[in-house]
Chain A
């Protein structure tokens, strides 16, 4: 819902004017609440409730699509799809909304019932009990903007009603201050309490007289009392008017009744029983009264009589959806019918509906909808709470329809009127925004604004797993709550109905891209997370989002040999917390061009290192749990083996253990530097310490492995800005090693010889294990190995960038049999010969950027080849905002023979599954992020337009 200013010049003029007015009024803020003098609404569908061109009464209400409503000074000045709106007028666009006139409640108990005991109390005015300062948000949320105030249904003559606007603010005068006299027939008004007339001060002249018993106590008395009162009032008026010698003693009730009769106020007769209705009509004929008939539960028995009388009607709809006011009918055969027949009544005077006493006024439209059960047509039911109700109340010139000259009382709905899931989103009263569902979700301090729930409907909903015809998706707080044939519509939800031809799909996924890196091509190891570099979504993000790609699996251009992290990021969002879907979705391991024999070893080694690290953590976690369970005192004895404990095995003469001395040379250091290395080998694990120039000779911890004559060491320098230096060296001869030391992008040559074979005393205190109170201390966090922990826990996937069938063949057993972890293959250009193995490994392939490749002299479409073999495919952009071309590339793959569904799955669910994100994106299922695309036809058809994009339930606008 956006607002557009057509002219900034007139805007500033208006501001100046407003300032002048405010200055003149002398009250700051008094003007601020005033609505703009003129504005317009552009609404998707408008039910005007005004008669159509033919102008015949009762004709189908005019429904205008894409309709403009121009509002000036609180009144509607023009309605239509092609009216001229002056350029300086604000236009509020509500393309998804449905507008209709504010509802008119032809009866209500807002005023309560008058508390007097008077059986005949025409002096009471319901308007006195109306509180214009009250907050009517609840009633406005039900759409009622005009209400009749009933002085009560509990006395024969309970007073005079009134008609007021709700939400018009305190200054607005009532529409009708003193409406008709209210007469209530039937059991409800029987047996009023006896009336005590206190004469004050009591004296011998002013004696206390016994209480007067009042009528009616049965049907016999009600018309007797009415006739008596009417006659008395007439006599009273006559004596007053004629200037009679003896003025009648003042009687407030007679005075009021006489005034009402003289002023042709008319009567509203509440009558349910056929006998009461019949008598009431006879009484009105006799007294030449034009009544409004209300209640009419047995009206259908006298349908012809009522129709001929032409009396306006307010029919009670006896449904009780809200608890508490259902009457027990019991076994009395003479009770009121619970199923009124309304079809016979329609066609007489204007017909409005009302709720049973005690029902909340906010549910008026539900009662109107129920009137269709009892015989009203849809149009009649709608009219019964709008224009016809206004006619019953005599206020049809002001309210009840959207037509030029009428008050700007409008409802903005999220669906068709009278539908059960339709709710009011906005209410305008006299052109003033009196209720706004979005305004209710105002954030509390330090809380983010919560958008209104969103319901998206379309002819076809494809969730990634299933297809629903005429389905819908409900998104709340940015997450999908439901998707399917029907979804719940929370009150005040925003509803977007895309139409029967539209198709809804999950947001598309770029299975490997570089969005957000902004051209940064530095090599990244697994300790770096691309998500951490994100700040906010710039225009490149917006471009990708507008193409329907809502999630990008961002990875470094040049991943390090031990793998690089892949982060799943959204292409729209206010800040990093919204942009990042999953910080570590996968680890990208480059095995491109590697040796088919070395590749599996590298893989094994990497996984093994990860496992060691993982186990240390698991041990710690277990110890911590025990500690927590037992408390600090009764902590368990230290676990039998800990990383910092020297195993008691006899130090054998192994090729590593001992003290080494050597030189570091090359790289940026001008002169070779000495260093001393103390190591201890247990199994393949090497622990020890090193003193180098980098720490001024101070010893630092080293860990690593020794295998097949190759030593891999990592120095632990927690405060190093370059990460941990790594030493890769080979034992080229006994007691001598050569190799390289790497810090960031620098490499140094390393050479050292063993000077001592005894197991060295390692001075470095490795603060692990337990504190004094027995609380276990966490192992050192290794950012480079952290993603592997996620991998081992099955929370992340391993993505292997491979190109050679031999490599694929070699690594598949490692990943499926030796240490099964979730994985996917990237590119896999030459996978043809090993296709069956890939299919058997139940993994997926992220297709290379080029769809067609010439292999062995002929064009090969890898996507088709793989898909046919049963291997799920996904698409990558290998670009930043180049990801916007991804949907078209998928479409091209379809053109080259890929199954359309497989392509769509590759853009959504399959990509999500390969990268272990299917709990978040790629599938429309409860709990997933609210990423939804709306197409105006089948997706991946080149002619189909992507109509709208929602990310986290928020619409992305180009």
Chain B
């Protein structure tokens, strides 16, 4: 029943929005200045402040520093953060989460835009908010050659437009073959796309030159080759077919790109392709675990690097079968390459939290500062928003997390989340979390007739069956592989009495 979870999300999400977030509708500007007072500030850039305050006004941080030195606006709502940690909202720099379907079947689709596929009601966004991620770079999946445009969104909002922080951030390019392709085909397809674009542009230039001459009433004076050269400047964006525009911007160096390289062998072709087609200077490399082998080439390229959510690379020797395990961020760190960490979508344990990923880096010997940067500032740089996100500094977005403790402590949670000065998350009002953490009611009761109180919890489930199938027809969410079958309901009365032939051992 693939729709179950989604629908429940919608129900509860709406309920939650109605209760705690109704006061501060997401996407609207901050109405009242906010002061986060007396917290331990970890600003990522600059020194830690032991007891400090942050003032957020008009969505931006206007003051930050020791609590006694920061002036509080008279009309501000003051939050006492004594004993709490103030940390910039974390950034997911590369994910296909939140998309209806993460990939299109055609290999070259630069004319697509994820804005058309973002599903704001997905649990993914709510989970992100709960996990302290305040900016998500939603991007097409890896099953493509040239994918569509991505955007950076907030994990809150009712429409993609409302969620958007920055639209049309980057184009997805995959060097690793899409399904049904091999590398010969993938590379030929990629090369063809750029060559065909160049060819089309030449044709267009020639056409524009001829048009110009006609307008000026002059006869055709140069051979076609020359006309193609001279007409280059005359081409306007509106002359370019809509489907080619993004790719053209890319080759003109006006568009960022995220190039996916699953294997080390993909790195050199990726860099070559980017250099040959003019988009190297704004590219970001998204690399798989094996790419630690190509760390020298990656370092030489000097472009931002987004690492795989899996932090270890395992391989076996082809003859001896000896196993080798490599901690991938460690290799990049040793080589002096700054990197961005990703989280594992669909993981139920630690890897789904960015801070856990960073903490694992610290455990493997990477400095705390670098690990923290990998989930904040470096990620902001990768998505081109380092002027707005990634650290707590005056002038930056007021996206601040109020954490219960150190950001790299496994027992820490998000108490409150502010996005651009708007309080968007409060743990003590998180209905679903409460539901999850509370003891099931049935567990507390003995067997007996169902009381009216039970119906309250069982109602959403029965309601689901009615509108089954109306929303998710044809949706093959091939990357979201989380189990969707509803949890088996516990038997009332707890343990089953043993059958006489079973003896005393409990087989449950």
Chain A residues in the interface with B (C-beta under 8 A): 27, 30, 111-116, 121, 123-126, 128-135, 137-138, 141, 151, 159, 170-171, 198, 200-201, 243-245, 247, 250, 252, 255, 440, 442
Given A125-B188, A128-B269, A170-B264, A243 and B225 contact (CB-CB distance below 8 Å): yes
- Apart from A250-B195, A442-B322: 19 A-B pairs, beta carbons within 8 A: A30-B296, A114-B182, A115-B185, A116-B184, A123-B188, A123-B192, A128-B186, A128-B188, A128-B269, A138-B318, A170-B293, A170-B294, A170-B297, A198-B106, A200-B109, A247-B202, A247-B203, A440-B319, A440-B320
Interface string of B36-70 (1 = CB under 8 A from A): 00000000000000000000000000000000000
Closest to B197 in A: A250
Q: Which residues of A contact B24 (CB under 8 A)?
A: none
The reply on B108 being an interface residue by CB < 8 A is yes
A159 touches B184 (CB 8 A): yes
The reply on B277 being an interface residue by CB < 8 A is no
Q: Which residues of A contact B317 (CB under 8 A)?
A: 135, 137, 440
Q: Which residues of B contact A244 (CB under 8 A)?
A: 224
The reply on B327 being an interface residue by CB < 8 A is no
CB within 8 Å: A-B pair count: 100
Q: Which residues of B contact A243 (CB under 8 A)?
A: 223-225
B196 touches A125 (CB 8 A): no
B243 touches A133 (CB 8 A): no
Q: Which residues of A contact B265 (CB under 8 A)?
A: 130-134, 170
Q: Which residues of B contact A135 (CB under 8 A)?
A: 315, 317-318
Closest to A250 in B: B199
> Least Cβ distance of A48 to chain B in Å?
29
The reply on B181 being an interface residue by CB < 8 A is yes
Whole-angstrom CA separation of A132 from B266 in the bound complex: 10
Closest to A437 in B: B319
Closest to B320 in A: A440
Q: Which residues of A contact B206 (CB under 8 A)?
A: 247
Q: Which residues of A contact B196 (CB under 8 A)?
A: 250, 252
The answer, among A114, A201, A245, for a CB contact under 8 Å with B185, is: A114
Chain B, interface size: which category? 35 or more
> Least Cβ distance of A205 to chain B in Å?
11
Q: Which residues of B contact A27 (CB under 8 A)?
A: 296, 335
Q: Which residues of A contact B108 (CB under 8 A)?
A: 200
The answer, among B180, B225, B319, for a CB contact under 8 Å with A138, is: B319
Chain B residues in the interface with A (C-beta under 8 A): 106, 108-109, 111, 177, 180-188, 191-192, 195-196, 199-200, 202-203, 206, 223-225, 243, 263-265, 268-269, 290, 293-294, 296-297, 315, 317-320, 322, 335
A250 touches B200 (CB 8 A): yes
Q: Which residues of A contact B180 (CB under 8 A)?
A: 115
Closest to B220 in A: A245
Closest to B104 in A: A200
The answer, among A114, A131, A132, A141, for a CB contact under 8 Å with B184, is: A114
Whole-angstrom CA separation of A64 from B226 in the bound complex: 64
Q: Give 14 A-B contacts (CB < 8 Å), ordered by A residue.
A: A27-B335, A113-B182, A114-B184, A115-B180, A123-B188, A123-B192, A124-B188, A128-B184, A130-B265, A131-B264, A137-B319, A250-B199, A252-B195, A252-B196
Q: Which residues of B contact A200 (CB under 8 A)?
A: 106, 108-109, 243
> Least Cβ distance of A364 to chain B in Å?
17
Whole-angstrom CA separation of A250 from B243 in the bound complex: 17
Q: Which residues of B contact A252 (CB under 8 A)?
A: 188, 191-192, 195-196
Closest to A115 in B: B182
Whole-angstrom CA separation of A247 from B227 in the bound complex: 12
Closest to A113 in B: B182
Please list the 6 inter-chain residue pairs (A to B) with the smallest Cβ-Cβ separation, ordered nearest first.
Answer: A133-B264, A250-B199, A128-B187, A115-B182, A114-B184, A252-B192
> Least Cβ distance of A853 to chain B in Å?
60
B243 touches A201 (CB 8 A): yes
A129 touches B183 (CB 8 A): yes
> Least Cβ distance of A525 to chain B in Å?
49
Closest to B315 in A: A135
Q: Which residues of B contact A116 (CB under 8 A)?
A: 184-185, 188
Whole-angstrom CA separation of A112 from B223 in the bound complex: 45
Whole-angstrom CA separation of A132 from B267 in the bound complex: 11
A201 touches B111 (CB 8 A): yes
Whole-angstrom CA separation of A30 from B188 in the bound complex: 33
Whole-angstrom CA separation of A200 from B180 in the bound complex: 18
Interface core residue of B188, B269, B293 (most chain A CB under 10 Å): B188
> Least Cβ distance of B448 to chain A in Å?
51
Q: Which residues of A contact B223 (CB under 8 A)?
A: 243
Q: Which residues of B contact A113 (CB under 8 A)?
A: 182
> Least Cβ distance of A206 to chain B in Å?
10
A115 touches B184 (CB 8 A): yes
Closest to A132 in B: B265
B319 touches A126 (CB 8 A): no
Whole-angstrom CA separation of A128 from B189 in the bound complex: 12
Q: Which residues of A contact B111 (CB under 8 A)?
A: 201
Q: Which residues of B contact A121 (CB under 8 A)?
A: 188
Whole-angstrom CA separation of A519 from B352 in the bound complex: 72
Given A27-B335, A243-B225, A247-B203, A126 and B195 contact (CB-CB distance below 8 Å): no
Whole-angstrom CA separation of A823 from B335 in the bound complex: 70
Whole-angstrom CA separation of A131 from B183 in the bound complex: 10
Closest to A135 in B: B318
Whole-angstrom CA separation of A302 from B199 in the bound complex: 46
Whole-angstrom CA separation of A245 from B196 in the bound complex: 19
> Least Cβ distance of A938 to chain B in Å?
42
> Least Cβ distance of B92 to chain A in Å?
28
Q: Which residues of B contact A132 (CB under 8 A)?
A: 265
Whole-angstrom CA separation of A27 from B322 in the bound complex: 27
Whole-angstrom CA separation of A150 from B87 in the bound complex: 55
Whole-angstrom CA separation of A440 from B192 in the bound complex: 44
The answer, among B184, B224, B268, B297, for a CB contact under 8 Å with A124, is: B184
Whole-angstrom CA separation of A113 from B183 in the bound complex: 10
Q: Which residues of B contact A125 (CB under 8 A)?
A: 184, 187-188
B181 touches A115 (CB 8 A): yes
B319 touches A141 (CB 8 A): yes
> Least Cβ distance of B163 to chain A in Å?
26
> Least Cβ distance of A423 to chain B in Å?
12
A128 touches B320 (CB 8 A): no
B184 touches A111 (CB 8 A): yes
A129 touches B182 (CB 8 A): yes
> Least Cβ distance of B183 to chain A in Å?
4
B294 touches A124 (CB 8 A): no
Whole-angstrom CA separation of A722 from B318 in the bound complex: 58
> Least Cβ distance of B423 to chain A in Å?
42
Given A151-B184, A198-B106, A243-B225, A133 and B263 contact (CB-CB distance below 8 Å): yes
> Least Cβ distance of A120 to chain B in Å?
13
Q: Which residues of B contact A159 (CB under 8 A)?
A: 184
Whole-angstrom CA separation of A949 from B45 in the bound complex: 69
Closest to B196 in A: A250
Q: Which residues of A contact B264 (CB under 8 A)?
A: 131, 133, 170
A129 touches B184 (CB 8 A): yes
Q: Which residues of A contact B186 (CB under 8 A)?
A: 128
> Least Cβ distance of B7 to chain A in Å?
31
Whole-angstrom CA separation of A933 from B87 in the bound complex: 75
Whole-angstrom CA separation of A734 from B293 in the bound complex: 94
Q: Which residues of B contact A245 (CB under 8 A)?
A: 224
Whole-angstrom CA separation of A159 from B187 in the bound complex: 13
B182 touches A112 (CB 8 A): yes
B185 touches A124 (CB 8 A): yes
Q: Which residues of B contact A201 (CB under 8 A)?
A: 111, 243
Q: Which residues of A contact B315 (CB under 8 A)?
A: 135
Q: Which residues of B contact A30 (CB under 8 A)?
A: 296
Whole-angstrom CA separation of A114 from B181 in the bound complex: 8
Q: Which residues of A contact B183 (CB under 8 A)?
A: 128-129
Whole-angstrom CA separation of A129 from B186 in the bound complex: 10
Q: Which residues of A contact B268 (CB under 8 A)?
A: 170
Closest to A125 in B: B184
Whole-angstrom CA separation of A243 from B229 in the bound complex: 13
Closest to B335 in A: A27
Interface core residue of B181, B185, B202, B296 (most chain A CB under 10 Å): B185
Q: Which residues of B contact A112 (CB under 8 A)?
A: 182
